[in-house]
Each structure stands twice: as C-alpha cells, then as structure tokens.
Structure 1
Amino acid sequence: MQKGKVLTLEDRIPKLKEQRRKKANRRLTLLLFMFFILIAGVIYIQSPLSHVSSIEVNGNSVYEDTELVRATGISDKTNIWKINKEKAAGQLEKFPEIKNASVKLVFPNKIEIAITEHRRIAYLAKNAGFYPVMENGKVLPGNKKESLSENVPVLMGFKEGKVLDEMCSSLLSLPEEIYNSISEIHYTPQKTDEFHVSLFMNDGFEVSASLRTFAEKMAHYPSIVSQLDPNVKGVIDLEVGSYFKAYEKEGEEGLEEESEG
C-alpha cells in the first residue's frame, strides 16, 4: 500500500484473478507434460525401440562372441528393462575360462558385456595331447591341443586336485623371469612328501623340490645358478637347503642361499 493511497477490493480482484489464472495454467502445463511423458513411455516400452539393438563383448579370447551372448539369454527380441544383469553375468561365469563377467546397459538400448578370463599358466600333457591349465587349477575339458602355442610350463603326471592347486598357486607367486625359465614340471611324489616335483629348466638344469617350499626357494634360483658351471649340468636339490649334484658325478656340492632382502 502506497502512502496516502488505499487499494479497494475492486482494485485487487483483477490482480487476484490474474494470479489464479497463471497458477492454473502452470498446473495444466505440468499435467500435460506428465501425460505426454507417460504416453511416450508406454509407446517406447511397447515398441521395438525398447528391444536390444546391439550386444558388444569385450575381453574374450577363448569363445566366440555369439556363444557367450547365447549363454546370457539376451537377444534382439529381449526388452532391455527385463534383463537381469546379475543373472546374465552369472551364466557367463560358469564357463571355466571366465574369471569375472559384467553386463551393462548403455542407453538407450545397447548391451555391453565385459569378460575377464583366468590366466593360462601351464599345459597338462596327457593322452598324447596338451590341455590348458588355468590359474584356478582347472584343466580345460574338450580343449585338446596337439601343439603348444604359448611359452608356459608343461606339467606331467598331474591331475585336478590339491596338488595341482598348490602347483598353480606356486607358479603364480614366482617372479616372471623364473616362471619363464621353466620348461617342464613332473609330479614325482615320494613316501615322505606327496608334494614332491621335479623341474626341467630351459638352461638345462634339473630342480628337485617340494611344493610346500617351492615358491620361496625358487626365488633364489638365479643366485644359485650363478654359482654353478653352466657347462656342468645336474640336479639342484631345494628340498632341504640347496645342493647341486652333477649328472656325471657322485659327490654333492653345497650352495649358499642368498637371504631374502
């Protein structure tokens, strides 16, 4: 109210009517917007636009992409809002080579599948063929290989179980340099040690060891070999201490182990 001027009721009525009209228009606009959004949503859900348009698979090197997609149960007829991503990922993780899998929706209707595979750390020689051994100790069934395509150790005499699991765990903990220097590992159990193994190295030496201390003692292999004559091959015994026995000699030579650190 301005000084010296009093607004009458008749003067205020037009302003009140205008405010109410604007408020009613805003409500109507909001209701119409929500109505059209609802209609668009219904049309979208019922139309092919809500179906999967494409599926992309990343990180897979073992299986065909189509085989993995088929395992998820997702196709171009699947409504994206009906996809159970956790269930689809779980179906993929049933494959022995797959360590982890994730399924993600990329708006508006694209599916992305990310695969993390178990590492192949060895080949198991059996039945005149070579079978990939995964880092989790699983031997791949139905994947017989007549020739080796990767520079990984070949295992002899092993089978799935606690000994192979221990072998895989030990290999994973080795430094890359030492891991790459192993050619063959033979399972040679003894009465006093069911975890005994014999290794044949790329440099021509043989190693006798127990899986219970294998990773710890093999870490010193470069230091041990550096003390030996490379022209005299033999067996490096790492079961108790470190001893070298040449193939053509009967005597044993004690070796100093380099302390850790």
Structure 2
Amino acid sequence: MDKVIDIEDRIPSLKEKRRRRTNRNFLFLLVLFLLLLAVLLYFQSPLSKVREIRVEGAGLQSEEEYIRASGIRSGDALWGFSAGEVEQSVTGLEGVEQAEVIRKDFRDVVIRVDEFETVAIIQRDSGFQPVLADGSVFAQLSGAPPSAPILAEFDEAGQLRKMVKELEKLPVSITSLISELKYSGDGSITAFMTDGYEVRGVISGFAEKMEYYPSIVAQLTEEGKGVIDLEAGVFFTSYEKIYGDGEKQSDDEEGETAEGEPDEQEINIP
C-alpha cells in the first residue's frame, strides 16, 4: 500500500525550492546589473580610449600618413571605429597592397601595412621614384635610392610594366647584381651589372635567361669583362674586342666600334 504524504509534510520542501529559485533569480539579476555597471564604467573611463597608434611595415609612405588616413587619433574610443573601414581607407593609399588593423594590449591600435615591393627605381633630377611590383611608378621622390636596379629611358608604360614583371621573376641574388637597365626601343634592353659586365637582350624572356647569369660569368673568368648577348643564344664579346682599348665606351661614344666585326664566343648554359 502506497504511503500517503500529508500536504503539511510537503510545504517545507516547496518553500525551500521556492526560496532557492528566488535566490537564483536574484543572483542572476545582481550579476547582470554588475556587468552592465562595469561596462558603463569602462566606456566612461580612460581604459576605453586609444592610448597609442603604431604602424608596422611603413616604407613608401610615412607612419604619420598612414595614421592620418586611418582617421584614428589618440583619445578616440577604442571601439568607436570599424577595423574593416579603416583597412579600406589605408589600402586606398598609393603603394599599399593590403592593410590590417588590430586592437592590441587593451588600449593600443596597430596598423599593419603590406606595401607593394619596390622592384626598380627611376632616377629624376631631384631624386628617385620607386617602381612597384604592380607596375606603377610611386609619385613621391626619395632622396636616397632604394636597393633596386635603375630603369632608364623606359618612356613607354607598357614596356615598363613588362620589365617589372620580368624583374619580379628573378631572385634577389640576380637583381642585386643589376645596376641599371636601359631601354633602347623595340623591346631591346641593356643591363649594366655591378660586377662589370654588360648584358644585352630583350624584355620578353629576360628573367628566364638571366637566371643562368652566374653560370655564364663562371665560364668567363679568364676572358676579362665584356658584353654578354642574350638576344639569340648566349654570346660573349670582350670590351677590348669591341672598343679596342679594353674599356667600356662612354655614352657619347656608344655605337662606335673598332674596325671589323668583333669576335664572339658562344657560351653554353645548362
């Protein structure tokens, strides 16, 4: 036979459950109130304000220019701006490939900038203009030339872009040996190397052939300095055979050669 529990015996347990439920609701409301109060105090305190703005990766533009473009100032609300909108504004600057905005150390903002690589430079009367990996010429002049080949007489924008694409394909070990690239029309170029050689070729396929430059030069250790012709095959002619005195011509004398056709040495490449 089932035991019958009197309602009076149930009342204490019902009261205890109701009391515990009431306490839980009160505790929840208290925690919620304290959280809201903490959030309110946080946004009213200096802890929610931007303390410092740092720029990483600046080279073409100054750090001040990137900060100006971001629109963020010290003392602004740390959560009062959209990181995506700031990134879009910074990316709109000349020479910027992409940007990232990070809130860091609770109060600081870091703007990380990824600029297009400088693959060459153009020398002007008042300074140097970087030629970027996207084929554009950076508008601002710099007083000191970056470590990149100088492009001369590339007045045709299309040929300039083609040359930039070729340079991008080359490893730094090769581009660092190129002092200057001079355009002579019809896609032909002359590369003046830091090790004293002169390389003549065409823009199309220049990178593919120049990858063999170290092995080509290694075969010329006893030949002296001269011209390496990459236009059709690989041929070498010493300056002595071209100019008669073993020295390179000056720009005013370019095109004048000694009597007779210079002897050429064919070079084998791997």
- What letter matches 2:269 in structure 1? E
Query: 5+ residue gaps in structure 2?
Result: 243-260
- What letter matches 1:73 in structure 2? G
CA contact (8 A) 2:127 2:141 kept: no
* Residues 1:83 and 2:84 aligned together: no
- What letter matches 2:161 in structure 1? D
Q: Which 4+ residue blocks in structure 1 deviate beyond 4 angstroms?
A: 3-6
Please give the alpha-carbon distance, in whole angstroms, between the structure 2 residues aligned to 1:43 and 1:88. 27
**Which of 190, 201, 209 matches 1:217?**
209
Counterpart position of 1:176: 172
**Which of 151, 167, 184 matches 1:188?**
184
TM-score where L is the length of structure 1: 0.84
Q: How does 1:109-124 map to 2 (within 5 A)?
A: 109-124=107-122
| SS of residue matched to 2:185 | coil
| SS of residue matched to 1:101 | strand
Counterpart position of 1:140: 138
| SS of residue matched to 2:140 | coil
Counterpart position of 2:34: 36
CA contact (8 A) 2:223 2:238 kept: no
Please give the alpha-carbon distance, in whole angstroms, between the structure 2 residues aligned to 1:162 and 1:239. 20
Please give the alpha-carbon distance, in whole angstroms, between the structure 1 residues aligned to 2:156 and 2:56. 29
Counterpart position of 1:245: 237
Deviations 1:84-116 (A, max 9, x none): 111211222233333321101236332121122
Please give the alpha-carbon distance, in whole angstroms, between the structure 2 residues aligned to 1:36 and 1:136. 54
Deviations 1:132-171 (A, max 9, x none): 22222222223142x54x4421111124722222212211
* Residues 1:100 and 2:98 aligned together: yes
Counterpart position of 1:23: 21
Give aligned pairs, total.
Answer: 251
Counterpart position of 1:255: 266
Counterpart position of 1:13: 11
Please give the alpha-carbon distance, in whole angstroms, between the structure 2 residues aligned to 1:138 and 1:160. 12
Change (3 A) 1:213 1:257: farther
Please give the alpha-carbon distance, in whole angstroms, between the structure 1 residues aligned to 2:109 and 2:265. 62
* Residues 1:153 and 2:149 aligned together: yes
TM-score where L is the length of structure 2: 0.81
Change (3 A) 1:106 1:129: closer
| SS of residue matched to 1:82 | coil
**Which of 193, 207, 214 matches 1:201?**
193
Deviations 1:2-36 (A, max 9, x none): x9965322111111111111111101110121123
| SS of residue matched to 2:79 | helix
Counterpart position of 1:226: 218
